[in-house]
Amino acid sequence: MSWAVDGLVLGLVQGVSEWLPISSKTQIMFASTYLLGLSFGAAYAFGLFLEFATLAAAVIYFRREVWGVLKALALRGSAEDRLLLKYIVVVTAVTAMVAAPIYLYFSSISGPVVGLPMIALGLVLIADGLLIKTARERHTPTKGLTDLRIADLVLIGVAQGLAAFPGVSRSGITVSAMLLMGVRPRDAFRLSFLALIPAALGASALPLLASRREVLTAASLVSPQGLAVAAVVATVVSLLLIDALLKLASSRRIVPLVVGLGAVAIAGGALGVLIGYG
């Protein structure tokens, strides 16, 4: 029954870390290195491949938005659907251009630094929290999707692409970027989670194209049953976390939420340094 334990652990790690600023691929790297004995390159590729489980959760949770984007593609969507389509297309295109070369580099090496980037991201999130607190004392952030210019979308795409670096959290860096732009906290979290859908699709597909052998080796060590357990656990945990984070982002508790997420990122980065992934 080791496959059940491996699947449960990998699913919990993926489902929790995808939505918190602690870099899911990095946590999966830690887990699969110790559980499966993978090399860094194989663990990095496998960590990105497991994005498919959280992709399923995002599609289920945001099914109305996904349907709206599909209608916009067929030229039948509302104005909001078309805006969301533009957001997805621009952010995803820029993400792909930035992330692909980063992935190809890191999937081929054996000893990267992952802890320090996570600590730096944690400090940025804490600074975000303090900025939100200061801003609320003076004015309330008012930007939403309709207020974002093409230049803003490009910057969000660059931020998301940089999350291909080990130790950099996709949700953490994109939420931080939008909060710094003055986007309303709930909109920042929601747009970040929506941008995950095409990004996770690419993140799962790229390892199969560029590192097929490493991914298949890792998958065989877990077994098909273990992968199924990991996928189900990650999907269920993700659905619960998405809902909880969006509710918190809409409340007056957004400052402690962002600062707390920053502290979690710093703790995760410190752990990476301590166990040799500094």
Cβ 189 vs Cβ 18: under 8 Å: no
User: Would the pLDDT of 123 be above 70?
Assistant: yes
User: Would the pLDDT of 73 be above 80?
Assistant: yes
Cβ 159 vs Cβ 178: under 8 Å: no
User: Would the pLDDT of 88 be above 80?
Assistant: yes
pTM for the predicted model, two decimal places? 0.76
What mean pLDDT is reported for the chain?
78
Provide the β-strand partners of residue 183.
Answer: 143
Interior angle at CA 268, CA 41 and CA 207, nearest 5: 25
Residue with token string 């609320």: 136
One-letter identity of residue 157: G
224-259 per-position pLDDT tens digit: 787 788 888 889 999 998 998 888 777 666 677 667
Q: Which of 7-16, 35-44, 198-207, 221-230 has the lowest mean pLDDT?
A: 35-44
Give the torsion through C-alpha atoms of 74, 99, 218, 15, to 10 deg. Answer: -70
Residue 266: count of CB within 10 angstroms of its CB: 21
Percent of the chain with pLDDT over 90: 24
Percent of the chain with pLDDT over 70: 64
Cα–Cα distance between 251 and 246 in angstroms, integer? 9
